[in-house]
Structure 1
Amino acid sequence: METSLRIAIAGLGAVGLKLAQALDAGIPGCTLAAVSARDTAAAAQRLAGLRRPVPVVGIDALEPLADVVMECAPAALLPQIVEPFLRAGKAAVVLSAGALLGREHLVELARAHGGRIIVPTGALLGLDAVLAAAEGEIRSVRMVTRKPVRGLVGAPYLAENNIAIEDIREPLRIFQGTARQAAAGFPANLNVAVALSLAGIGPDRTQLEIWADPALERNTHRIEVDADSASFSMTIENIPSENPKTGRITALSVIACLRKMGAPLRVGT
């Protein structure tokens, strides 16, 4: 236990709570050290069932308590959460990958102080293949996302463009553009597209379509990559968590990321 990484969780929504429970149950090499949430009283109540109680503190109090912070919060809070850890030469696992765009200073901060920003695979697949292909030449990356209506309602892009989807009866394409544009218009929905772009050819060359589909129950992503080493396509259908904007597999991906940090055998790039 002396060599265990002390883990802090910032945000106790669908992903943060699942992660806290997994750490409390036991992840080799990792120990839950602290949690931060907007409503500290409610967070403490949600954590009451943990075997080993941990402090619930403000965001600004997390860094001295932990070696790694898991960012599971609204995207706007990303700098406030990760900057103290990066400045201290520590690691930040970032779920709000879209919020990294336009905040290149975070990468520079990590580089200057020996910190690390880790973006887990999340609700996607095939990032290992994309990373490998990017060592050669990738000619194109295209992603088509289809989501149930409830998972897209409230996105800023819809309000800005007067697109109403609540009463649609058939699939409607609501966006076509780059991953960078999608991240700005759908900050709670398209972290997967940004993760894909960071693994491959960047947010300005990664092309994306978003469809709202009233018949769907699962969040579906199809990726098509054309490179000099391989051409491949991949599809994943994610079961939503209690938060319809987030798939159940997202939390499991973060848990797998933590297991990989201290594992004696690591599989995959």
Structure 2
Amino acid sequence: MSVSSAPLRVAVGGFGAIGFALAKALDDGIDGLALAAVSARDKKKAADKMEGFRAPVPVVDLEALAELADIVVECAPSTVFRSIGEPALKAGRIFVPLSVGQLLVHDDLKDIAIAHGGRIVVPTGALIGLDAVRAAAEGNIESVTMVTRKPPRGLMGAPYLEQNNISLEGLNEAKLIFDGSARDGAKGFPANVNVAAALSLAGIGPDRTRLQIWADPAVTRNTHRIEVEADSARFAMSIENVPSEENPKTGKITALSAIACLRGLVAPMRVGT
């Protein structure tokens, strides 16, 4: 992007903890980008939250975001994922999803992007090493395994727990609550394992990527350990993310990752593939 070009307009779908942090960073100023609109279930509350912004923007319906922006960022509940992503891609926009696991559920969105000239850009999120996994995938990856440990309160309300009558109340030791594919994990824990979905998309796909989820009262951070076996390298990585105070299901680094992703779209130099 040249210095003389107009900044790319960014719309933020969802105005909770992550959406607010992202919108505020854009309002504070990121070269080459401008906040254009946000969406929120409670429009009045969102408008009130925006009072401290230097340049308040319209609070609109989810489906209207694509009309007002070049880039649409999704940071909303998984139930409205498609209402943000599909219009953005049909309008030929760049769609940046944070509920990455929903890409495994709505796997036709890639075809919509191809048909309409849209683009899906997945941020690194709460996971390290995606560049290494993507590089290894250019050769042959034999296996990818991810083990996630979270405080029980960060897993409460997951559909998989409710469907299988798994209670985490009063848990006093680590409990394995899921062992399966990244695809099934994304369906059962839509608010918890977006990192596993991103890992699977970078590597060998959601059906071959193995995932274990542990509810562990001994941990205070959302912890992920990944092991990759490939013909080019064998590597392991781990990260301990500080949960957000507003939403313990996600980490503080998630909003920062989205900001870094947006900077990378317009920066004159980008580090990492």
Q: What TM-score range do you get, normalising by the shorter chain?
A: over 0.9
What SS does the corresponding residue of 2:101 show, helix, strand or coil?
helix
Give the alignment partner of residue 251 of structure 2, picking from 247, 250, 265.
Answer: 247
Identity %: 65
Aligned-pair CA distance for 1:104: 2.3
Match of 1:229 in 2: 232
Between the aligned partners of 1:105 and 1:209, the Cα distance in structure 2 is 26
Q: What is the alpha-carbon distance in structure 2 between the residues aligned to residue 141 and residue 61 of structure 1?
A: 39
**Aligned counterpart in structure 2 of residue 175 of structure 1, from 169, 178, 182:** 178
Rounded to whole Å, the distance in 1 between the matches of 2:241 and 2:127 is 9
CA distance in 2, matches of 1:116, 1:172: 39
Deviates more, 1:98-107 or 1:3-12: 98-107
Aligned to 1:69: 72
Alignment of 1:110-189 (within 5 A): 110-189=113-192
Q: Distance in 1 between matches of 2:137 and 2:258?
A: 23
Query: Which range moves more in the overlay, 74-83 or 220-229?
Result: 74-83
1:159-195, Cα deviation, whole Å (9 max, x unpaired): 1111111211011111100101101110110111000
Instruction: State the one-letter code of the partner of 2:251.
Output: G
- Does the alignment pair 1:266 with 2:270? yes
Deviation at 1:87, TM superposition (A): 1.1
CA contact (8 A) 1:153 1:166 kept: no
The AA in structure 2 aligned to 1:46 is K
Cα RMSD over matched residues? 1.0
Alpha-carbon distance, 1:148 to partner: 0.5
Aligned with 1:133: secondary structure?
helix
1:85 has 2:91 as partner = no
Secondary structure of the residue aligned to 2:19 is helix
Q: How many residues align?
A: 269
Task: Please list every run of 5 or more consecutive structure 2 residues that lacks an aligned counterpart in the other structure.
Answer: none
| Distance across 2 between alignment mates of 1:203 and 1:217 | 27
* Residue identity opposite 2:118 in structure 1: G
TM-score by length of 1: 0.98
Q: Deviations over 1:77-96 (max 9, x none)?
A: 11111212211211110111
- What is residue 15 of structure 2 aligned with on the other side? 12
Structure 1 runs of 4+ off > 6 angstroms?
none
Q: Which amino acid aligns with 1:184?
A: K
State the Cα deviation string for residues 51-71 of structure 1 (Å, max 9, x = none): 111111111221221111000
Of the structure 1 ranges 48-57 and 221-230, higher mean CA displacement relative to structure 2 is found in 48-57
Q: Equivalents in 2 of 1:148, 1:108: separation in Å?
A: 37
The 8 Å contact of residues 76 and 99 in structure 1, kept in 2 or not, is answered as no
**1:102, distance to aligned residue in structure 2 (A):** 3.2
Task: Give TM-score, length-normalised by structure 2.
Answer: 0.97
1:37 aligned residue (37, 40, 44): 40
Tell me the CA shift for residue 28 of structure 1.
1.1
Q: Which among 233, 256, 263 is matched to residue 260 of structure 2?
A: 256
**d(CA) in 2 for partners of 1:16, 1:267:** 25
2: CA distance, partners of 1:185 / 1:104: 16
Contact kept in structure 2, 1:98 and 1:187, CA below 8 Å: yes
Q: Would the aligned equivalents of 2:105 and 2:187 in 1 still touch at CA under 8 Å?
A: no
Superposition deviation, residue 2 in structure 1: 4.8
